[in-house]
Structure 1
C-alpha cells in the first residue's frame, strides 16, 4: 500500500532541541533520546468515515514529533497502518450495501488526499492489515505454540496472563479494563475464555465474511491488536521510540499490542514511550463515527477552507487536551493565517532568530504548539505595528513555520 507524497521540509539554521514528551505508561515526562534513526509507530484509520478532525488532530500531533526530530538532524522511520479489515468496516459495508474492499479503498484514498492537503509528513511504510496477514499468521501460531494463546470454538485468543507486564501501559485496574474492553471491540462476556480480557488474535471464518488462509489456525481473519504488532515488529523491531495514537487507544489497543509483542519475543518494552492525543468534541460529545457528530477535513476543503487554516485550528490546542470544535475555532485560525501571511509578505521585518528559538523550545516542551503559535503571533504583531529592518526575517519566519509547524505561508 502506498502512502502520500511528502511536502518539502525547509532547512533551518542551527539545530533543534531534544523532545520531552508525556509518557502514558509512567504518567510523567521523558526526554526522548533516540539514535540517529528515530523510530515511531502511529496507529492508522479504520477506513470508513475518514478523515474527521479527530483523526487529523492525532496525525497532526505525531507529525510534530517527526518535525522536531528532523530539526535535531535525525532521520525518522515512521510507520502507520490501515485497519482495512475489521468488524466496524464490515458492519458499515453491510449497512450501506457497498463492498467492504471498495469502501476501504475509497476511504483510504480520501485519507491520503486529506493528509497531503494538510502537509502531514507520510510514513516510510503505510501498511494495510490485509497486506500484513502473511506476517500475522505465523506470529499467532508462535504464540499458541508457546502457550500464550488458545483456541475457543475455532477462534484463537491471546492469554493476557502470559505477559507479566500486562497492565503497565494503561495502569488501569481489572474492572476498568473490563468496561473498556466491552466498549471497544472486546468480548469479555464470552463463555469459555480463560480471562474475560483475553483478546482475539484470529477470528475463524464466519458465513458471508471475507476469509484468508490461516495455515494451522484455519481460514479466517486477523484480530485488531496483532495487526499493528506484526507491522511494527517487521519494520521497527522491539524497543522503538514512540507508540502513538489517540487517547482512546490506550486500552485495549496499545495495552494488548504491547503484551502480544512482549509475550512473543520475551523482550521488554515493546515501545519506550507511549504518547496519546486528546479527543476532539462537537456539540458536547467526543467526535466519533458511532455518534455521527463528525466534521470532515474533505468537506471543509470542499467548502473552500484553506488547509493551512485547518492545521492552525488543530495547532491552537495542546495535543493531549480534549477540546471542542466550533465555527469560532476555525474563524480564529483563518484570522491568524491572514495575519501571519501579511506579516511575512513585507520585504523586511523584526529579527526572527529569537522567534525560531521560541518555536523550538515550545515544541520540545511536550509539543506545546499553542505556545509556538503565540510566539509567532507576537512577531507578527510587532511587524504590523512598527516593522523592522531585517530583510531576511520574513523568509526565516516563513521557513520556520513551514518546517516546524507544517503551515505553508
Structure 2
C-alpha cells in the first residue's frame, strides 16, 4: 500500500455513545481514503480502543493525560460508564483541562510530520478545540453523534431562558430491543413492568440487564429484587428469552435477521444502527435530543411508536404489550411501518454506496469536506510563502 498522506485527528468525548461513532468514522476514513487517522483520548479509553480495533487497522491511538480525582471524580474514571448524571456534568467540565495537552499533541504531530494535520474533527463537547486549531492553522470541524441539525422550535424562547446555568445535554443509553438496557436510566419499578410486559407479550426477546438507577452499576444484578418472582427461571425454561448481564453487541444483534423491533432511548447512534438494518423502533426517549428524534421517527418517517418519555413517567406492562403487538403483529400499522423501514434502509445504503458511476450523498459529503480542508491547507501555505 502507498504511504498514507496527510493526518486526520479525531477527538471524541469520553463516553461510549460518543466514542462509537468516532471510531466508525475513523475506520471509514482509513478504508476509503489515503490518510493517516489519529484518534486521541485519555489513557484508559485508549487502552480499551487498542483491544477493540480490527487487528489490521493502522489507526494511530494517542493518549493525553487525565487525572479524574483532580476534579472530584472517582479515581481512574475516564468515561461515563459508571457515573451518575451529576458526575457526568463534572466530567464534561473537566474536559476543558485537556486543552494544553491537546495543543501540545498537535504541535508534536506537526513537528514529527513536517506539516500540521489536515484537519481536527472534535466532539461537540470539546468546542475549545476550535481555538487550538485556529492558533495552529488547522482546519477544524465539530462532529456530533446526534442528529446533524436542530429546529428553531428546540431553541430557548427568550434570552432569559437561554442564559443562566450551563446545562449540558446528556446522552444516556436506555437500551436496545429486544432489550439491552443501561440500568442507570430505568428505575427498579419500571424494570419490573418491562419484565412483565415482555413475558406477557409472548414474543422472543433479548434483554441486557444492569442494576437500575440509584444502584452501583458494577454490582451484582439482584434478579429477586428487580424482576418478578421466578421470571428468570421461567424465561430460561421456556427458551423464549435471553437475559444477558451488563453488555451485548448491539450492532450484531440488530443485524440478525430474526430481530424485527428495537426498544430504544432513540439516541442517534442507536437510531442509525436500527434503521440501517430495517429494524422498527419502540421509542422511550430519556434525555437530550432523543425526544425530537422520536417525533421525527414516528411522525415523519413512520418507523417508530412512542412507548413513554423520560425517567419520571408512569409505565404499565399492559402498555408495553400493546406497543409490541402493534409493531410486531400482522396489523395494518405494523405492515406499513415495516414497508417504511425497508425504504429508509435502502436510503441509508444508497447514501453510503460508492460504486462505478454512482456515489451516495454521504460519500460526496465526505469528499467535499476533505476538499475544503485541502483548500484551506493550500491557502495557508500560499499566504505563508507571500509573507516569507
Q: TM-score range by the shorter chain?
A: 0.3 to 0.5
Q: Which has the higher contact order (CA 8 A, sep 6+)?
A: 1
Give the TM-score of the pair, scaled to structure 2: 0.34
Give the TM-score of the pair, scaled to structure 1: 0.33
